[in-house]
A and B are shown apart, each in its own frame.
Chain A
């Protein structure tokens, strides 16, 4: 009887999540069909007005491997150069990052290199961004990770969103994986990021006007950043935290996939594991932090979103793990589960949902809905997706340990290969 109840519980939890994602997938598709319909009129508006000044922040810590390519892309950005300032923030760099930056600064007047100083130095991304915030005065702030190569009109589209959607506190663009073809891992990550953006980001924006600010390719109004007092230096995932605070001011955050950037993803499991552990821990931290004061949040939609995160990082995994345990125990010992065929059919439906949801998002992107990718999607269900379970448990253990020992959050910078870790995002 006990086993039955546990099974019911896991079924309920899992299916709440699956149905919610189904609902998001539908929203994501709707957003895809509609998001660019406003562009012609927004372009006309851009032509009429005095464009705002823009600062592009690129926080960098020993990024000599990738920074040249990044700055090249920055130099090509489509935006009036008198209104644009690219700021490379060298945070405690000991390699050639600054040197390369200076090279570009000499050639392009709108590129500037600054170095963090004093209390700002060597504290991590948030701190570096805060420093740049002090050192600049553009009306709009765009942030890119040091491994990003934005498309020409990326910043233009981000600003276009802010200019035309006055209720938007920030505009979030789309990122794509530049090294998707490199390893099996990057193939998975490529599929994962496309799905995440078109389902979770686009879907949530479509239904609730909620998008999580990622670590890269977004633009925010300076007045908001100043009102908020900059980035929170204690959060591991400063973006989730920022998202909630922007909503608390009464703004929404628009997902505008016309702004596109390309970034590199971890090519080895080791890097992936460390990077994702940090995200998972960061999000667990944020969920627990805000779960307590959820009801005092100004935006009730945000409350909903925190519950969603809570489901993602706690309940869903609890449900999946529980159902896996029951499945294994049931192999050896008959638990007399009273649910019959419907459970099997549900499992099949879950798999079909997984396939179709991913296929929709893949078919949105060019050349992604291929036979090869489809095989990877099937494989992904049994491998990559399952790896997440181990990862979330691992992150939970670390986070629990930290809370028991009452340690401060320490920013562990991922070890660099020729691949650099990407900015934070939730997935």
Chain B
């Protein structure tokens, strides 16, 4: 431990001794974003609207540097004084005069306007357009949909350009239409399988240059203390030899659901050695939670930052507490009482999340595996959870849960982005899934996903692989990826990142270095060891106590030996 600390000190000293800093290296995603300012206005407070707004926010923040998200009720015309693009998303048409007036005021806006959803037809920009009856389409851009979608039959101005058509049996319906600076997306929801068409169209709608490369990453997933070290080594080294950056999603502690027993990576020297080897060869560590569990579930199976039993945010610090559903406002005398209640629950969730993240960062760092990013177990987390996480991490891998009521409301945007829900964290989205042996043809599934993703310029190819599957499928998967001509592996150390707790600072200045300052007080280290391994700590206590007594007894023996003759003489008297 001590020598490691010194090693880091050395790294830091060397860094400061360099005459010129190379901090100005920008991450490959930020310098490609457009500088135009975007306002995303939405109407509707339902879960589905929120999910779509988060999706749009994610996509847009991957394309534009500044994206502002505003609910229509909060929107004032003044917001648009410096904006270049307005996007309005609404499924429902407006009924209240005040709202209608706000939308009508947009008439004066001269920048780009994009309406999404049937409610967006309220925009004055579409006065020359005719929106007719509803229709169902099974195909968009020649591609069959898994689920048909409802669209509007539209009469569009002659000069308008149709970017994407939808088809039903007999007719063709414009789905994405661009008329100069005014565009319309004729869909209720944009976060489903249509997201590829929608995302792709944005380049054309906003006259954006198309990037030449697809950033890509591959995670080795769920590496917990019970993972097979040989397979982790094998898969990790395979990627390293291929020149592919290795991202290890590590769970520091395994919790046995039946016995409550905890095994840490510290307890599994073989795995520790393998991880050390991989990290020394440039592998990145992603903190994949602390135990990957909440309530009685096995590590790797359970959720950690979401109560999957009650399908609600975390409400108790102790995972063995009985499940209690969050109460409804109707169960309270007044709104104030309800808000106090919700506030107290949030505090618990905050404390819980802080504890888990701190433990994860501390233990990983202490063992020599400083994490550079975070991935929530099963991607589940409330918006409050993301807010807390953003205080610790700057990079998040995986998908995004975008509802505080239901973990299944999950989005997987296509760009490296900074959606507002992440409070400043950068999302490295997972877009192609994983090798799922439950599927009849897992590799073909991924192949299809890659086809979809690569149809969108600049879209991230992000997936993961379970090391326990061995090399077989990994070779196939890597073979698939290597065939993508314009793929560019993401090296996180070429981006600016930071991970921090009160006692640990891990920073990636973007020049290939990872600097770690670790200063965890021994009290905290012992507290953790005690928590994880109290029995072993007691045993060490016994060892210390016994050693003291053995020394004391040895002293007695020598004392008696020393006085031996004197004693014999005395006894003879």
Contact = CB atoms under 8 A, between A and B. Distances in A.
A339 B536 contact: yes
Interface string A328-366: 000000000011101101100110110011011001101
A21 B248 CA distance: 50
Interface string A394-425: 00000000000000000000000000000000
Interface in B550-568: 550, 552-554, 556-557, 560-561, 564, 568
Interface stretch (A22-30, A184-192, A200-208, A295-303): A22-30
Interface string B21-61: 00000000000000000000000000000000000000000
Interface string A275-314: 0000000000000000000000000000000000000000
Interface centre among A1, A349, A357 (most CB of B within 10 A): A349
A22 B261 contact: no
Contacts of B259: 1, 5
A246 B253 CA distance: 56
Interface string B161-196: 000000000000000000000000000000000000
Interface of B: 256, 258-259, 261, 263, 267, 269, 535-536, 539-540, 542-543, 545-547, 549-550, 552-554, 556-557, 560-561, 564, 568, 571
Given A1-B261, A4-B261, A360 B542 contact: no
B553 A356 contact: yes
B536 A342 contact: yes
Contact of B560 (A340, A357, A364): A364
26 contacts: A1-B259, A1-B261, A4-B261, A18-B546, A25-B549, A338-B261, A338-B263, A339-B539, A340-B267, A340-B269, A342-B536, A345-B543, A346-B539, A349-B542, A349-B546, A353-B546, A353-B550, A353-B553, A356-B553, A357-B553, A360-B557, A363-B556, A363-B560, A363-B561, A369-B557, A369-B561
B535 A8 contact: yes
A353 B543 CA distance: 11
A19 B542 contact: yes
B561 to A, nearest CB: 6
Nearest to A1: B259
Given A26-B549, A29-B556, A360-B556, A11 B261 contact: no
Contacts of A338: 261, 263, 267
A356 B550 contact: yes
A15 interface: yes
Contacts of B553: 25, 29, 353, 356-357, 359-360
Contacts of B557: 356, 359-360, 363, 369
A147 to B, nearest CB: 25
A349 B564 CA distance: 27
Given A1-B256, A1-B258, A338-B267, A349 B535 contact: no
B9 to A, nearest CB: 29
Range, interface on chain A: 20 to 34
Nearest to A23: B549
A338 B535 CA distance: 11
B118 to A, nearest CB: 57
Contacts of B542: 15, 19, 346, 349
B567 to A, nearest CB: 8
Contacts of B545: 19
Contacts of A363: 556-557, 560-561, 564
A357 B550 CA distance: 8
A224 B557 CA distance: 39
Given A1-B261, A339-B535, A359-B557, 9 more contacts: A1-B259, A19-B546, A338-B261, A338-B263, A340-B267, A342-B536, A352-B546, A352-B550, A366-B571
A338 B532 CA distance: 12
Contacts of A352: 546, 550
Interface centre among B542, B546, B552 (most CB of A within 10 A): B546
B268 to A, nearest CB: 9
A366 B540 CA distance: 37
A338 B540 CA distance: 15
Nearest to B568: A366
B552 A26 contact: yes
B509 to A, nearest CB: 38
A349 B550 CA distance: 8
A356 B558 CA distance: 11
A11 B543 CA distance: 13
Contacts of A346: 539, 542-543, 546
A235 B565 CA distance: 45
Contacts of A353: 546, 549-550, 553
Nearest to B559: A363
A1 to B, nearest CB: 6
Contacts of A364: 560
A356 B560 contact: no
Interface in A47-106: none
List 5 A-B pairs, minimum CB-CB distance, nearest first. A356-B553, A349-B546, A363-B560, A342-B539, A352-B550
Given A338-B267, A346-B542, A22 B549 contact: yes
A423 to B, nearest CB: 25
A345 B542 CA distance: 10
Contacts of A339: 535-536, 539
A369 B560 CA distance: 10
Contacts of B571: 366
Given A1-B258, A22-B546, A11 B556 contact: no
A75 B26 CA distance: 106
A207 B556 CA distance: 18
A342 B561 contact: no
A1 B571 CA distance: 58
A343 B267 CA distance: 13
Nearest to B268: A338
